Amino acid sequence: MKIRKLINLLLIIMIGATLFACTKKEEAQEICIVFTSDVHCGVDMNFTFASLKAYVEDLKEEHENVLLVDCGDYLQGGTIGSLSKGELVVKLMNDMEYDIVTFGNHEFDYGVERLHELMGEMNFEKIASNVRYSGSKENIFADIPEYIIKDFKGTKVAFLGLLTPDSVTSSTPKFFMEDDELVYNFYSGNDGQDFYDKVQSLVDEVRSQGADYVVALSHLGSEITGAPYDSLSMISHTNGIDVVFDGHSHSLITEDLYPNKDGEDVILSSVGTQLQEVGTLFIDKEGNMQIVHLTEYDRQDEKLTQSVADVYEQLNTILSQKAGEIDYDLKITDEEGIRMVRARETNMGDLTCDAYRYVMGTDIAVINGGGVRADIKAGEVLYQDLFNVTPYQNNIASIYASGQQIMDALEFAYRYTEGIYKLDGNAVGESGAFLQISGLKCTIDTSIQADIMVDENSMFTGVGERRRVKDVMVLENGEYVPIDPNKIYTVASTDYVLLNAGDGNTAFKDCEIISAAEMVDVEALWKYFTEVDFGDKYRESDDRIKIE
């Protein structure tokens, strides 16, 4: 595989649409594939959709062979997605004229039936390479191809769409069930081999059909905690793939090379999240390949600018309501932008759990770190800010749970936690399942290796002999006392955590339900902010979770 040297990014920005040194479409034999990933509703952030549209249109002025593709997680993550359950995002993506997309785990966050409805509104092609359905009702992927081959005047490029096999647990497991049985599976199991074999069979199939290049739109991620379903593991266990556009882990990787199982280099590239960067793969007529990332563009498409403005105008009435005011930041990240909320207690996590415990009147509240999505800056706090924190519109629920079930839930939630949470600007030991807590205190002993048992879908099945979570205390009458494994406590959280085995945490699966749909998550935050004068309580985190 030949790799050209990277074009200087600043030069690209300066010369804009003329960067390819071509003046006529018929002279431009280069194939240009523009890719995005993990946009998470960030259509007006960083690069912006309006700039992306202008960039793609300028490319098309100079090149005949231009595609715009996405690697998943576009429907969820912001107000335009959550308040419309994805519809407004699809509208903007149609206006963008995307060509091909695959599905991230968060495409399922509004439920499988809702995703099916949105598929019908998408004016672009969709691919899902690794879906198994064992149900008796309707497979929403029945008409979605496993791959797409594009023919550019005799040069064929095949595209695969790789969904993370962990989609079941990283969205809401209940959504993938019929009659309480899982019916959707993404080739998980057998320590990754089922997944690798499926990918290899499709690569072999497209090659047999004359594909000159194979490009994977991957929603697998490049973090070791995703093994065996990360992109690096997939690359090392297969051959025949030329390029992997990677999503899911929000990494920023311009153009790294990794050997496949035959020792041949495969290009891996990832563009972060919310349009931090936009990538373009260039394939010239000699077969040379190069990936360039842009962080900005000096033109915006006027029609897209107006489309985005129209979408936000529909939301402003609700989102501009004032909840309160604070003179300190509520954080889920640290000064480097590392998502501490997935590996450490944070003041935003404390407040969110306290809000759930307040509105439900329970002994305890928990929330998964992956469900607390944004910082709130000092100053006025608007409905928009609260919605950014809890964008999923999950219902708040409450249950009766034994002390033992609570301890098991904590053990599962903290299985990846390490003595440090970051290294060289990257997260260490983070997990969306990490529980922020209220009415509880505990210590995580990271010298003890987690002894957690899960099934082939990464669903929690039990704890072995070792326990790393100790000194679990419950707040009773204003004082913390040791938790009683046999005592029944009331617990509040989202239905995602308590009722739907979110993140694969099944510890609360058989608990008696007190309330299943009291209010949606953002309403709980609104109620807490508008009814409780908490003053300086959350200026710092509360030392509820100690790490040793």
Structure tokens at 369: 């770190």
Domain span holding position 402: 322-547
Q: What is the largest CA-CA distance in the chain?
A: 79
395 and 542 within one domain: yes
pLDDT, average across residues 490-504: 94
Residue 200: is its pLDDT beyond 80? yes
Evaluate whether residue 434 is within a structural domain: yes
Residue 196: is its pLDDT beyond 50? yes
422 and 287 within one domain: no
Burial class (CB in 10 A: 0-12, 13-18, 19+), 57: middle
Structure tokens at 391: 């964008």
User: Could you tell me which residue, 474 or 76, shows the higher pLDDT?
Assistant: 474
The answer to pTM > 0.85 is: no
Sequence-ordered list of residues with C-beta below 8 angstroms from that of 254, at least 6 positions apart, any chain: 6, 269, 279, 291, 292, 293
Structure tokens at 2: 């030949």
Burial class (CB in 10 A: 0-12, 13-18, 19+), 184: buried
Give residue-wise pLDDT tens across range 341-385.
Answer: 999 999 999 999 999 999 999 999 999 999 999 999 999 999 999
User: Could you tell me which residue, 162 or 517, shows the higher pLDDT?
Assistant: 162
User: Residue 222: CA atoms inside 13 Å, Cβ hemisphere, count?
Assistant: 20
Could you say which of 281, 311, 341 is where a domain stops? 311
Evaluate whether residue 5 is within a structural domain: no
Q: Do 281 and 291 meet the contact criterion of CB atoms below 8 Å apart? A: yes
Q: Do 63 and 153 meet the contact criterion of CB atoms below 8 Å apart? A: no
Could you say which of 311, 338, 360 is where a domain stops? 311
pLDDT, average across residues 217-241: 93
pLDDT, average across residues 311-315: 86
pLDDT, average across residues 116-145: 96
Query: Which stretch, 44-48, 76-80, 456-460, has highest mean pLDDT?
Result: 44-48
pLDDT at 515: 85
329 and 307 within one domain: no
Sequence-ordered list of residues with C-beta below 8 angstroms from that of 84, at least 6 positions apart, any chain: none
Beta sheet of 469-476, edge-to-edge order: 479-482, 469-476, 440-444, 545-547
Q: Do 498 and 353 meet the contact criterion of CB atoms below 8 Å apart? A: no
pLDDT, average across residues 262-287: 96
Amino acid letter for position 188: S
Peptide bond into 485 cis (omega under 30): no
226 and 207 within one domain: yes
User: Could you tell me which residue, 182 or 171, shows the higher pLDDT?
Assistant: 182
355 and 248 within one domain: no
SS3 28: coil
291 and 252 within one domain: yes
Region for 110 from its dihedrals, namely left if φ exceeds 0, alpha if ψ lies in -120 to 50, beta otherwise = alpha
Q: What CATH number should be reported for the domain holding residue 232?
A: 3.60.21.10
Sign of CA dihedral 400, 405, 410, 413: negative
Q: What CATH number should be reported for the domain holding residue 397?
A: 3.90.780.10
SS3 104: coil
Evaluate whether residue 21 is within a structural domain: no
Evaluate whether residue 185 is within a structural domain: yes
Least confident interval from 156-160, 209-213, 452-456: 452-456
pLDDT, average across residues 14-37: 58
SS3 229: coil
pLDDT, average across residues 486-513: 94
pLDDT at 29: 65
Q: How many residues does the chain have?
A: 548
Evaluate whether residue 215 is within a structural domain: yes
Place of tokens 């897209």: 304
330 and 196 within one domain: no
The gap from C-alpha 346 to its chain's centroid, in whole angstroms, comes to 20
- Give exposure, 272-298, as e/b (b: 16+ Cβ within 10 Å): bbbbbbbbbbbbeeeeebbbbbbeebe
pLDDT, average across residues 219-230: 88
Structure tokens at 237: 């266990």
Sequence-ordered list of residues with C-beta below 8 angstroms from that of 441, at least 6 positions apart, any chain: 471, 472, 473, 475, 480, 543, 544, 545, 546
SS3 453: strand
362 and 278 within one domain: no
pLDDT at 28: 45
State phi, psi for 68 to the nearest 5 degrees: -120, 120
386 and 270 within one domain: no
Q: Do 527 and 514 meet the contact criterion of CB atoms below 8 Å apart? A: no
In the chain, what percentage of residues exceed pLDDT 90? 81
State phi, psi for 354 to the nearest 5 degrees: -60, -35
137 and 100 within one domain: yes
Least confident interval from 1-5, 110-114, 169-173: 1-5
Query: How many angstroms separate the CA atoms of 46 and 42, rounded?
Result: 8
Beta strands in 232-339 (DSSP E): 243-246, 252-259, 265-271, 278-283, 289-294, 322-326
Query: How many angstroms separate the CA atoms of 107 and 338, rounded?
Result: 24
164 and 43 within one domain: yes
Evaluate whether residue 72 is within a structural domain: yes
Nearest partner of 18 among 52, 56, 58, judged by Cα? 58
Structure tokens at 68: 């715009």
pLDDT, average across residues 255-282: 96
Evaluate whether residue 3 is within a structural domain: no
pLDDT at 25: 41
Could you say which of 256, 276, 311 is where a domain stops? 311
Evaluate whether residue 4 is within a structural domain: no
346 and 285 within one domain: no
Beta bridge partners of 292: 280
Query: How many angstroms separate the CA atoms of 416 and 155, rounded?
Result: 45
Burial class (CB in 10 A: 0-12, 13-18, 19+), 443: middle
State phi, psi for 219 to the nearest 5 degrees: -110, 65
Structurally, the chain folds into a number of domains equal to 2
Sequence-ordered list of residues with C-beta below 8 angstroms from that of 47, at least 6 positions apart, any chain: 275, 276, 277, 278, 294, 295, 296, 297
SS3 447: coil
